[in-house]
Amino acid sequence: MKLNIAVLPGDGIGPEVTAQAVKALKAIAVEFNHIFTFETGLVGAAAIEKTGDPLPEETIRICENADAILFGAIGDTKYDNDPNAEIRPEQGLLGIRKVLDLYTNIRPVIAYEDLLNKSSLKKKQIKDTNILIYRELTSGIYFGEKKMGDDKASDICEYTRFEIERIAHLAFKAAQSRKHKLALVDKSNVLASSRLWRKVVQELAPQYPDVKLDCLYIDNAAMELIINPRQFDVILTENMFGDILSEEASVIVGSIGLLASASTGDKHAMFEPIHGAYTKAANKGIANPIASILSAAMLLDHFELHEEADLIRDGVDKSLKLHITTPDLNTKYEHITTTKVGDFIEDFINNPDETNLN
Q: Footprint of ligand IPM on this chain (CB under 6 A)? A: 74-75, 90, 93-94, 243, 274, 276
Least Cβ distance, residue 241 to ligand IPM (angstroms): 11
DSSP H stretches of helix in 147-289: 161-176, 192-204, 218-227, 239-253
Please, is 99 exposed, middle or buried when counting C-beta atoms within 10 Å of its C-beta (0-12, 13-18, 19+)? middle
Among residues 137 and 316, whose Cβ is nearest to ligand IPM? Answer: 137
In the complex, the smallest distance separating the C-beta of residue 277 from ligand IPM, rounded to whole angstroms, is 8
State the Cα–Cα distance between residues 229 and 222, nearest whole angstrom: 10
Q: Whose Cβ is closer to ligand IPM: residue 78's or residue 127's?
A: 78
DSSP strand pairing (104-110 vs 130-136):
antiparallel
What is the H or E stretch that residue 299 is in?
helix 290-302
Q: How far is the CB of 74 from ligand IPM (least distance, A)?
A: 5
In 10 A of CB 229, how many CB atoms?
23
Task: Report the residue number, 273 or 342, with the smaller CB distance to ligand IPM.
Answer: 273
Q: What is the DSSP letter of 143?
A: T
Q: Please say which residue, 261 or 330, places its beta carbon nearer to ligand IPM.
A: 261
* Nearer of residues 211 and 291 to ligand IPM, judged by Cβ: 291
Q: At its nearest, how many Å lie between ligand IPM and the CB of residue 111? A: 20
**What is the closest distance, in whole angstroms, from the C-beta atom of residue 106 to ligand IPM in the complex?**
12
Cα separation, 21 vs 54, in Å, equals: 23
**In terms of CB distance, is 91 or 193 closer to ligand IPM?**
91
Query: How many residues are there in the chain?
Result: 358
- Nearest Cα neighbor of 118 from 260, 292, 326, 342 is 326
Q: What b/e sequence results for 64-81 when a residue is b if at least 16 CB atoms lie within 10 Å of its CB, and e otherwise?
A: eebbbbbbbbbbbeebee
The residue sitting closest to ligand IPM, measured at its beta carbon, is 90
| Nearest distance, CB of residue 354 and ligand IPM, angstroms | 37
Q: How far is the CB of 65 from ligand IPM (least distance, A)?
A: 23
Contacts of 16 (CB under 8 A, 6+ apart): 282, 283, 285, 287, 289, 338, 339
For ligand IPM, which is the closer residue by CB, 116 or 133? 133
